[in-house]
């Protein structure tokens, strides 16, 4: 991990800004501040926060990149953590059973019991760091490293929307049916995305999720 | 209205793409060959962002319920209207009840993989988050956010009345690009480019890559010499764009295409420039092709070349329209 921020291009479509340091809520709050600032620049079509990084897509690619890079690095230096006090959404989860087919793999990897895994998973308030992957999907911070479990060697072709899963040191909830390489440990019912709403997403950076156990199935 | 007669499961409604909802996790979707769709719309006098049908499995058949001008662009697939042959890359008029059939893509000086059917007025499905393109994950845009099925009846928008019956030289012939006699696409190096070994990078740029059968609108999985990182790479999830060349652990790259998810966490060796994505989008499975390394200025020049060509198509179309009106 380097100490200086890095700027690189994704073809002529976008710039990628990567912040130095660990992924922390404080760092992520600076990313949100930078995103708000850059979203107003005339050449920027969209500012998209990622995990400790920011994608800036172009309306039209600038003739010369250097001035924009300089402005971006300057704005990062001045960016002050933006503590967005968003909503906290509680999601009721049925852990294990049919809706949590990979709970046994998390048990095997961590050496913890199902009850311990559920207790650890339901303890934190998980901040939404960024959205991505698929419509309405939230990248969450804050998972307890004791339940970290590597991604599956062979991804599952289709896991249902509402699947609660662990991939490496992250946890998340699928917003719609689709493929996933993560370990699904439970299921919840929530609508993260509705194109007819404005905004179309239930949660945005700055909001948070908590998980409440409804039932543990074997 | 036009009605889908084929059982083919992979034709979809696309426009130029959905570009301002990435922050909500929504990918761009859109035509794999935007030049082809644009040319169809220009011939018909449609707005640039009018939606058409992208067909990629053949044969593909539709029936026109009303008299309607249409254009076929992209892969030349020996199309017929009620059995009579049609020229590729040109517009025609259909009468109510006539059946348009797209056959297999033809080999020739330029062979494509996807054919675009544009209709005067455009396919009039609702605009969702700024686009009519079909976004499969999350099921938005297009027709109920899904691929087209037999029996679907598609509404057509108000007729523009400014179309012409004419043809365009395919951009694959007008704007050829090759390296060592293989088709090529230009690439700007990306963040992790220098994190791969020099030897594997030299092969990446100098040797042919083959498009494997595991390639579709989501991504093109390539087979070739492979890329080796100097050390294990850790990349945090970040927004991506179509064209990004990701390198998973296998070392065999995957080019993210129009239906790719809008974020990724694999190391990136480069990005196929926007100006050349249509070339890749038209390469059939099994194609061997080359990457050409460019810098920012060359990438912008490529973009200007494409824009200049489109300007010329618009100019000639306007001239023909004026002549016929006179």
DSSP B165-176: --B---HHHHS-
- ipTM, two decimals, is 0.95
Count CA within 13 A, CB hemisphere, residue B33.
32
Answer yes or no: is pLDDT of A77 > 80.
yes
Note the pLDDT tens digit of each residue in B119-167.
999 999 999 999 999 999 999 999 999 999 999 999 999 998 788 899 9
CA distance A157 to A98: 16
Percent of chain A with pLDDT over 70: 99
Tokens describing residue B40: 């169809």
What is the distance between the alpha carbons of residues A165 and B274, in angstroms, rounded to a whole number? 35
Q: Is the separation of the CB atoms in B25 and B57 below 8 Å? A: no
Q: Calculate how close chain B gets to A130, using CA atoms only, in Å.
A: 8
Listed by start position, the domains of chain B span 1-175, 178-294
B187, pLDDT greater than 50: yes
Tallying the residues shown for chain A, one arrives at 218
Q: Are A165 and A93 in contact (CB under 8 A)?
A: no
Of A139, A137, A29, A46, whose CA–CA distance to A84 is shortest?
Answer: A29
CB environment A91-112: b (16+ within 10 A), e (fewer): bebbbbeebbbbbebbbeebeb
A95/A97 Cα distance (integer angstroms): 7
Is the Cβ pair A176, B138 closer than 8 Å?
A: yes
Residues of B contacting chain A (CB within 8 angstroms)? 19-27, 128-129, 135, 137-140, 188, 190-191, 236-244, 261-263, 268, 271-275, 296, 299-300, 303
End-to-end CA distance of chain A: 41
> pLDDT by residue (tens digit) across B195-238?
999 999 999 999 999 999 999 999 999 999 999 999 988 888 99
pLDDT of residue B211: 98
Q: Given the DSSP bridges, would you call strands B115-119 and B52-55 parallel, antiparallel or unpaired?
A: antiparallel
Q: Which architecture does CATH list for B178-294?
A: Beta Barrel (2.40)
B128 and A65 in contact by Cβ < 8 A? no
**Residue A153 reports pLDDT greater than 90:** no
Residues A126 and A141: beta-carbon distance below 8 Å? yes
Pairing of strands B268-272, B244-246: antiparallel
Q: Coil, helix or strand for B19?
A: coil
Joined together, the tokens standing for residue B232 give 């294990």
pLDDT band at A44 (very low <50, low <70, confident <90, very high): very high
Average pLDDT value for chain B: 96
How many residue pairs from chains A and B have C-beta atoms closer than 8 A? Answer: 140
* Predicted pLDDT of residue A1: 47
Environment class of A199 (CB within 10 Å of its CB; exposed 0-12, middle 13-18, buried 19+):
middle
Q: Residue A2's pLDDT is what?
A: 59
The answer to whether the A6-78 and A88-217 domains have the same CATH topology is no
CATH number for the domain whose boundaries are A6-78: 3.30.1360.40
Mean local confidence (pLDDT), B269-290 = 98
Element (H, E) at B310: helix B296-325
C-beta atoms of A195 and B191 within 8 A: no
Residues 6+ apart with CB under 8 A from A118: A95, A213, A216
What 3-state DSSP class applies to B31?
coil
Cα separation values, A72 from A16, A91, B120, B178, B299, Å: 10, 37, 44, 36, 22
Q: Give the angle B99-B147-B52 at the CA atoms, nearest 5°.
A: 55
Architecture of domain A88-217: Beta Barrel (2.40)
- Mean pLDDT, to the nearest integer, of B238-250? 95
Residues A2 and A176 sit within 8 Å (Cβ to Cβ): no
């Amino acid at each position: 991990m380097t100490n200086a921020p890095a700027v690189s291009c994704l073809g002529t479509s976008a710039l990628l800004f990567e912040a130095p340091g660990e992924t922390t809520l404080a760092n992520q709050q600076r990313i949100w501040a930078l995103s708000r600032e850059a979203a107003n620049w005339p050449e920027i079509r969209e500012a998209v926060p990622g995990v400790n990084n920011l994608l800036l897509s172009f309306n039209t690619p600038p003739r010369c990149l250097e001035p924009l890079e300089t402005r971006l690095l300057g704005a990062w230096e001045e960016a002050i953590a933006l503590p967005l006090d968003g909503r906290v959404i509680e999601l009721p989860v049925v852990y294990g059973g049919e809706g949590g087919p990979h709970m046994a793999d998390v048990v095997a990897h961590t050496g913890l019991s199902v009850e311990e895994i559920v207790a650890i998973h339901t303890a934190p308030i998980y901040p939404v760091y960024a959205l991505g992957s698929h419509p309405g999907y939230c990248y969450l911070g804050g998972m307890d490293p004791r339940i970290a479990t590597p991604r599956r060697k062979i991804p599952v072709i289709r896991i249902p929307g509402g699947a609660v899963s662990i991939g490496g040191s992250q946890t998340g909830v699928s917003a719609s049916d689709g493929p996933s390489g993560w370990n699904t440990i439970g299921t919840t019912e929530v609508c993260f995305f509705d194109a007819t709403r404005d905004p179309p997403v239930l949660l945005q950076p700055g909001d948070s999720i908590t998980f409440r156990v409804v039932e543990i199935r074997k | 209205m036009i009605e889908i007669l084929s059982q083919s499961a992979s034709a979809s409604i696309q426009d130029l793409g959905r570009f301002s909802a990435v922050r909500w996790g929504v990918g761009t979707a859109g035509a794999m060959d935007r030049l082809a769709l644009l040319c169809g719309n220009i011939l018909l006098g449609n707005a640039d962002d009018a939606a058409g049908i992208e067909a990629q499995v053949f044969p593909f058949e539709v029936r026109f319920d009303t008299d309607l001008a249409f254009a076929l662009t992209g892969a030349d697939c020996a199309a017929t209207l009620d059995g009579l042959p049609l020229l590729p890359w040109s517009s025609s008029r259909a009468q109510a009840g006539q059946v348009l059939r797209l056959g297999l893509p033809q080999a020739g000086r330029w062979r494509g993989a996807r054919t675009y059917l544009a209709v005067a007025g455009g396919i009039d499905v609702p605009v969702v988050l700024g686009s009519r393109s079909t976004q499969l994950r999350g099921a938005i845009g297009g027709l109920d956010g899904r691929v087209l099925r037999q029996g679907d009846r598609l509404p057509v928008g108000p007729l523009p009345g400014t179309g012409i019956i004419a043809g365009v030289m395919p951009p694959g012939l007008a704007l050829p690009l090759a390296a060592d006699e293989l088709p090529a696409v230009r690439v700007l190096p990306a963040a992790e480019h220098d994190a791969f070994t020099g030897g594997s990078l030299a092969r990446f740029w100098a040797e042919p890559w083959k498009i494997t059968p595991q390639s579709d609108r989501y991504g093109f999985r390539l087979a070739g010499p492979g890329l080796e990182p100097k050390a294990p790479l850790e990349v945090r999830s970040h927004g991506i764009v179509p064209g990004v060349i990701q390198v998973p652990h296998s070392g065999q790259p995957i080019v993210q295409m129009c239906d790719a998810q809008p974020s990724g966490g694999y190391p990136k060796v480069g990005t196929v420039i926007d100006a050349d994505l249509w070339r890749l989008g038209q390469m059939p499975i099994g194609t061997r092709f080359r990457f050409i390394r460019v810098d920012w200025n060359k990438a912008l020049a490529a973009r200007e070349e494409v824009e200049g060509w489109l300007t010329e198509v618009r100019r000639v179309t306007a001239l023909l329209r004026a002549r016929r009106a006179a």
